[in-house]
């Protein structure tokens, strides 16, 4: 059956300059030849969201001196691309005028934040949304000028979310209804809707954001509710790589990867795909592909639902990728008095939750004499304080000997669905690290057996990644 609908999302670097926008326009043109119905989703131009958030943060401290500089940077960045690429004078001037209105709205928002002396999550979402809202007008006009029948439309008109500002969750029922109502007539008329990633709106129309990196998630949500046949994420790398090429020069692109593998990689620090992206496309049974805007003929990485049940990767390869999360601390609660006492873990993680900290790794010895878990370094001090407060009486009674944390560590994760069916993988992993003199401080493996995570000292990060990558290329 012929494929009908394609959703394409362009990341910040893919729309970050006039040259990048030219490439994006050509990619859209080529896709139209293959798919009769195309939806384009754009991030903000690279660097813009950080500039917006920095401006708001400074304003909350009463500092508005840098606003004129931010204003002119945004104007130069967007206007330079518009002047270079939009030949139609009327279209160019209308686009620049609309972008200018949004820049003035940033200035107004920041001044209001400065007067209040604080930036509420709702205000931060209003500020953060401006990057996408400027870029959607620019990209829409660039596509029109390139001869593509395109229409810019903000996703606030059809992505309906709750009011959890800065990390809003879509209402899939309402979003399905509005998305189909709005986008299907446009595509039926041969128009390419160009819309904003990252943002939505409450039922009352208040702007929300889906969290940093949320444009990938937007693409998955919109793709799943249409539904599309395929979602393509355009970025600045050739897909998902076996590891960070800055650490290992001979890292290569994986031609395909399962959803369970990419979920582990996204969670454990591979920045190619936002962790939330996977679920909507899995649930809808939609194809997902990660491609390089700057190397569009490269096939990229195709995500597949599941590897065959007896799966070992090609050439007997079991480990597919290695990833590292830096800037973590290991926190340990230990004491002989914990043995057999119910509720210690619940109280410990309740204390962690009270600091709004996410825990990427947990390990506990069967003796129950210690619980050990990782937290981001910047949250470690507040987590330690919260734990010491919660267990103050146990520490005083010496049921808990101490609550302490390490210096900076990294979580190294090896991922491969073939590990599930291969005896001795853990042995290979730890032998490899031992042979290369990398010391492992803690270990965790999920029951899915798709990944093994190890904690190493920060100074051993690159050594551990390079050593384990050798298991892939053997």
Averaged pLDDT for residues 442-470: 89
Q: pLDDT of 78-128, one tens digit each?
A: 999 999 999 999 999 999 999 999 999 999 999 999 999 999 999 999 999
Q: What is the DSSP letter of 66?
A: T
For the chain, give the percent of residues with pLDDT over 70. Answer: 93
312: pLDDT strictly greater than 50: no
The secondary element (H helix, E strand) that includes residue 361 is strand 361-364
Q: What is the DSSP letter of 158?
A: T
The residue among 389 and 263 whose pLDDT is bigger is: 389
Q: pLDDT of 416-444, one tens digit each?
A: 887 877 788 888 899 999 999 999 999 98
313: pLDDT strictly greater than 60: no
Residue 180, by phi and psi: left (phi above 0), alpha (psi -120 to 50) or beta? alpha
Nearest alpha-carbon partner for 162 in 201, 111, 115, 122: 201
Q: pLDDT of 214-239, one tens digit each?
A: 899 999 999 999 999 999 999 998 98
Averaged pLDDT for residues 433-462: 88
Q: pLDDT of 128-171, one tens digit each?
A: 999 999 999 999 999 999 999 999 999 999 999 999 999 999 99
Contacts 24+ apart (CB under 8 A), 248-257: 248/465, 248/466, 248/469, 250/473, 251/469, 253/298, 253/300, 253/301, 254/301, 254/320, 254/321, 255/299, 255/301, 255/302, 256/301, 256/302, 256/303, 256/304, 257/301, 257/302, 257/303, 257/304, 257/320, 257/321
CB atoms within 10 A of CB 159: 27
Averaged pLDDT for residues 325-339: 88
What mean pLDDT value characterizes the chain? 91
Q: All domains of the chain, ordered by start, with CATH?
A: 5-236 (3.40.1160.10), 308-474 (3.30.2130.10)
Q: What is the DSSP letter of 438?
A: P
């Amino acid at each position: 059956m012929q494929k009908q609908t394609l959703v394409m999302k362009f990341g910040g670097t893919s729309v970050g300059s006039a040259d990048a926008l030219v490439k994006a326009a050509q990619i859209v043109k080529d896709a139209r030849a293959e798919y009769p119905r195309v939806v384009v989703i754009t991030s903000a131009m690279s660097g813009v969201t950080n500039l917006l958030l920095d401006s708001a943060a400074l304003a909350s401290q009463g500092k508005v001196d840098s606003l004129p500089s931010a204003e002119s940077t945004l104007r130069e960045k967007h206007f330079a691309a518009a002047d270079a690429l939009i030949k139609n004078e009327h279209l160019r001037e209308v686009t620049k005028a609309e972008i200018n209105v949004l820049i003035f709205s940033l200035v107004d928002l920041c001044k209001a934040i400065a007067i209040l002396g604080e930036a509420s999550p709702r205000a931060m979402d209003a500020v953060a949304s401006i990057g996408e809202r400027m870029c959607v007008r620019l990209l829409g006009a660039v596509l029109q000028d390139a001869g593509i029948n395109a229409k810019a439309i903000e996703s606030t008109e059809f992505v309906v979310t709750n009011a959890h500002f800065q990390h809003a969750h879509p209402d899939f029922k309402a979003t399905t209804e509005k998305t189909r109502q709005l986008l299907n007539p446009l595509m039926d008329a041969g128009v390419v809707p160009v819309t904003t990633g990252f943002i939505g709106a409450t039922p009352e129309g208040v702007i929300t954001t889906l969290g940093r990196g949320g444009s990938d998630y937007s693409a998955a949500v919109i793709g799943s509710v249409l539904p599309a046949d395929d979602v393509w994420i355009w970025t600045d790398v050739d897909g998902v790589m076996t590891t960070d090429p800055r650490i290992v020069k001979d890292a290569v692109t994986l031609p395909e990867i399962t959803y369970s593998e990419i979920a582990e990689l996204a969670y454990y620090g591979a920045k190619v795909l936002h962790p939330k992206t996977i679920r909507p496309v899995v649930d809808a049974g939609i194809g997902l592909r990660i491609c390089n805007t700057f190397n569009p003929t490269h096939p990229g990485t195709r995500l597949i639902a599941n590897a065959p049940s007896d799966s070992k990767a090609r050439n007997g390869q079991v480990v597919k990728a290695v990833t590292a999360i830096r800037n973590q601390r290991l926190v340990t609660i230990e004491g002989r008095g914990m043995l057999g006492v119910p509720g210690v873990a619940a109280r410990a993680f309740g204390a962690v939750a009270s600091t709004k900290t996410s825990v990427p790794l947990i390990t506990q010895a069967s003796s129950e004499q210690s619980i050990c878990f990782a937290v981001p370094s910047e949250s470690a001090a507040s987590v330690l304080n919260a734990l010491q407060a919660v267990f103050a009486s146990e520490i005083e009674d010496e049921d808990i000997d101490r609550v302490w944390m390490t210096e900076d560590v990294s979580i190294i994760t090896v991922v491969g669905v073939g590990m599930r069916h291969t005896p001795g993988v853990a042995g290979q992993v730890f032998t490899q690290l031992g042979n290369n003199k990398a010391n492992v401080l803690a270990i965790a493996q999920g029951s899915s057996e798709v990944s093994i995570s190890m904690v190493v000292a920060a100074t051993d990060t690159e050594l551990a990644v390079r050593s384990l990558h050798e298991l892939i290329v053997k």
